Each structure stands twice: as structure tokens, then as C-alpha cells.
Structure 1
Amino acid sequence: MSLSNKITNFANVTKLERHIEILLLKNDCVIVPGLGGFVAHHIKARYDEQDGMFLPPYRTLGFNAQLTMNDSLLVQSYVDAYDLSYPEALSQIEEEVAELYHTLENEGCVELNGLGKLYTNAERKLQFEPFESGILTPNYYGLSSFELPLLRLKRATDASAIADASANKHKVIYIDATNKKDKRISISVKAFRNSAAAAALLAATLLIAFPISNRKGLPEQQVKSGVLYNIFDSSDTSNASAQVRPVRTATVEAQRSLKKPEENPHYWTIVLASHVTEPNARAYVEYFQKRGFSETRVYEGVGSIKVLYGFYASQHEAYAKLKSMNTTPGFKKAWVLEIGQ
């Protein structure tokens, strides 16, 4: 093939590929009569986990050699561009297609700028390989890929960390028994406030369900929760925890308070705490007696242990005393009880 013929063929191919590229800007299919159809495919934006990149949307190009029927789209483009008649434009396209086949026959491959490569395989069939960058698409102009690696979430599987978290939880009352001769009872006020809130709710429920005048008829039940009711006033938040001194032996006065007064077996009294264990009750009594409330004592009822204060001949006298002590820490939630009826 002479140099002039090669230049002519290149110019014709360039002319054809330019028309196809321009028509694909607004169309997804351009049929070249006698050659085949170029079909655009839309690819959505996607994430490549292997490379850790977001890839923008684009259009790629496919080729179907079976689409040879003229749809007049390409012919009309030639008519408008070169001021040709329809038959003249169709004839020119057929000549350019013939030259393209001639180049394929001699060189085996034709590159269409902006589109891809046409070539013949071992079976002499026409194949097309599109450019990886896709075809020109104004709607996707300026969109590019960018890196964004995945964040791997770490799951906490350290059993020791879980055990430490459990160990750090505040306990209401705990006993240090490492020294058998000197046992200590420790009370955490911070944790106690949480338990006190639940106890206050329970006390409010009982107050609504049972009036004070009928409370003396409540049955005694064995409930040893170990929680000291009303041990501190709700406004006392000066210390984070309270340490009760070592409980070695009950005082003579506390032992004497276990017995009912023989000279007055029937009396009225003020209940400071109820349904507590005996060690906690004695610690509670010691706490109040050191603050000047010498009439505080432990009382063993039927199935429960109470912490009582005072001996009163009448209900009226007991309520009057309770009213006068209402602002004293530990007496706000106390009530009057009849003993020995």
C-alpha cells in the first residue's frame, strides 16, 4: 500500500471515529452500516476493597457485529457535517467501512481514538476491545477515584478487662474478714445511695398501702437483706464512703436493750430500721448512741430484727417525739410501733 493510500485511509477512519464519538455523547447506541453497532454501558460508582478506593461512575463501550441495519443516525450526522445528500452520505460511509476492513485484512488491528481497538481473532471474526478509561461522558466530567481504607473494628476479648470492670463495681456493704480478731464492716455511700433509692420506693409503696394507724398490725416476717434503712440522711454527701469501727463485742447497754422493760411491758416506740441482720443492727445502734441517742436499741421481734428508739406510754406521746425529731438524720423515714399489745 502506497503512502498516499495510507494517509487517505487514516483520514477516513479518523473521520468515522469522530462522528461515532460525538454521537455517543447523547446516544447509547451508534450503528455503522456494514460494520456493526457500538453500544454504551453505564457502570455505577463502586468501592474496590482490595485497593481501598472509591471508583466514580463511567460509561464503557461494547461492540455488536450483528447490528448492521442502518438506523440513519450516523448518516444524518454526515449529512449535517458535510452538506451532503442522504445517498451521498451513505455512500461515503460505505467507502470508509470498506477501507477499514481493508486495513484489518492487512494489519489485523485498527485503533479508533477515544473508543477502543477493532481486531480479528483466530477465527477471522471481528472483535472489539474498549479503552479502560471508558468513553467521553459530560455528566461524569471531573469525577475521579480516591482512596479510603476500611476501618477494622477491634472487639474487646480480654477476659481480664471484663473481670476488672466487675471488680470495680461499688458494693453496698462488704466485710473485711482477713483478720479474724478484728473484722471490719465497710459501707460505700456512693453505692448505698443507689440501694437507698430502691428502698425509698419500697417504703413509699408500703406507706400508701398501709396507713400509720394500722401499721402495728403488720405480720412479722423473716427478711434479712443486710441493707440498713435510714442509716444516713439523703442530704449527707460529704464523704464518699463511711467506715464503721470494728465490731468486737456488743456494749453492755446494747445487750440490755434486747430485753423488754419488765416494769412497762406495753409501750409505744419509734422504729428506725427494720428487717436487718443482727450485726448490722448493732452497728446501727452504736452509730446513734455515739451521737447522743442513748435510747437506741436492738429489738428482736417475731422473725425480724428492728432498731428502736425510746419508750412512750401513749401513741400521742410517741408521735409528738417523732415529729420533733423529724429533721434529725435517720428519723425522717421512721414510724411509730406498739409493743406488747
Structure 2
Amino acid sequence: MMIEKHISALLYRYQCVTVPGFGAFLTDIRPAYLDAAAHTFYPPKKLVSFNANVKNNDGLLANHISLQEKISYDAAVNAIALAVDSWKQALNNFDVISLKNLGDFGLNAEGSLVFTPDTPVNYLSSAFGLSNVVSSAVRREELKAEVEALEEKAPIIFTPERKRNYSYLKYAAVFVVMAAVGTTGFKTYHDQQVAQQTLVVQHAVQEKVQQQIQQATFFIDNPLPAVTLPLKEEVINTPYHVIAGAYSTEANALKAVAQLKAKGYNAQTVGQNKFKLYMVSYGGYTTYAEAQDSMRNIHKTHNTEAWLMVKK
């Protein structure tokens, strides 16, 4: 039985494989290195050595042979002993024993056992598939001398630089600026037209809403005595108003304005509607969004019946 193949298989996984009665094969990891003189890069590798002083049977090799050859453990131990006896007999005859993928054994002049490793395979599993990389030397000095020689021989010809005309870029820049100004002006004009048309549409919708209001009179429970008070016409510059109510008399309208101002509102009267009722506003707003926000707050905090009026 060739037990060296089982020794090789174990060296992939273990650092020490003992052959009972003969010695132990040891491994040591050598890191990757570069041989600058040979221009060769060597990957990491397991180096194999041999120690003839370790001969005790640890069971590793015999158990592996038993499993691989499907024989009993005792039969594996006997197979190892037969192989060792044949090796020792060959060594006594001063023959050289060659174990595949491990190395050579022989006796020197003093009769000592000498092991010469010969491992074409790499037992380091993490470096599996990596091989030596040989690169050709870079001849920097020779190439530099050749370039210098060529520079001395080659004439140097100066070619006058042609000045390019970039005047077209100036006209392109002017065109871009004019296009940007025109676009901005058109956008401003368009936004003004949209705002004006929106105001007209909202006013038309408001007219339809007022036509649906029943012709009724809103009274306060204890009205003020009828007095003649001049109702000052207020100048209304804001198109949007949140209406608090409509009153049949000027006195009641003014009283409602005073009550709303006391609560912090910028209240005012905004004239009469088609039904001759005096309308009182919580305040005027320049934009539809502001008026909508104010009306929502008033619905939550004061008056759920408040409504929005658009005035030309």
C-alpha cells in the first residue's frame, strides 16, 4: 500500500502527520514574497519538513487509512508498519526513498536520516490555484538612453499656433441673455392675466351664491334703539372678504363691527348686497389663499356660517 498519498491528503488539513515508527511530517506556512532577482512573485505556501524523533502513533494516519481504504483500524496499523519496514530496509541498503509530493529520504555518511523536500503541490488550501508569477525586467536605463539618442538626432520644428476666432461665442451669449429676458417678461405677463381672469371667475361664482341667499332679515335679540348714525362708506381695496353676517339696519351692522373688533378682528362694513342688507366682514384679503385660510380658522373658532365674498 502506498501510504504517502494518505500522508499528502492529511497535510492539507493538519500541520503534523506522524508515521508510527518512522517520524513526523511537519508543515510551516510561508507568506507570499517577491524574488526581485528572479522577477518572480511566489504565493503563500505550506513548507514541508521532517522530524525523525516523533514516532509515537497518534492514530491520525491509521484512522484516515481505515476510512479511505475501508479496512479495520488494526489492518491500517499493520499496513503502515509494513511500509515503514520496507523503507528502513531500503535505507539500510543506502537506497534513496522517493515519496510522491513529499520528498526524498536517504542516509548521509554518518548514517543519519536526511530528508529533501520535493512538494510540487501547495498544501495551503487558502492559496489553492495560485501559481508563481514571472514578470520581465523593465530596462529603464536602456530605454532612457535610446530616447536621449533619438532626441539628439530628431530636429525640433516649431509650428506657429493658429489663433482661433471665438467671436461667434459673443453673439451666442447675447442671444441667450435676450431669450432669458423675453421668457421672464412673458411669464410675468401670463401670470398677471391668469390672476385677473381668476378674480373675474370667482366674482361670477360669488354672484350666483348671493342670488341663492333667501331674502331675509338678520336681527339681534335686543336691538339698539333706532338712532340715526351716519354710516361711513369705507374704501375697500381688497377683493376678498370673509362675511360675518348681513343686517337690515346700519345700527345693527355697526354694533356687529364693534363686537368683532373687540375680539381682535379687523372688521368692517362692505356695503349692501342685492337684498339691501348691510354686510359685515371679518377682514379683507388681497389673495384668495389668505382669505381661505382665514375663513377656515373662523369656522373652527367663531362662526361656522361665515362665507367668502369676492368683490370687484
Q: TM-score, normalised by structure 2?
A: 0.41
User: Which protein is richer in helix relative to its size?
Assistant: 2
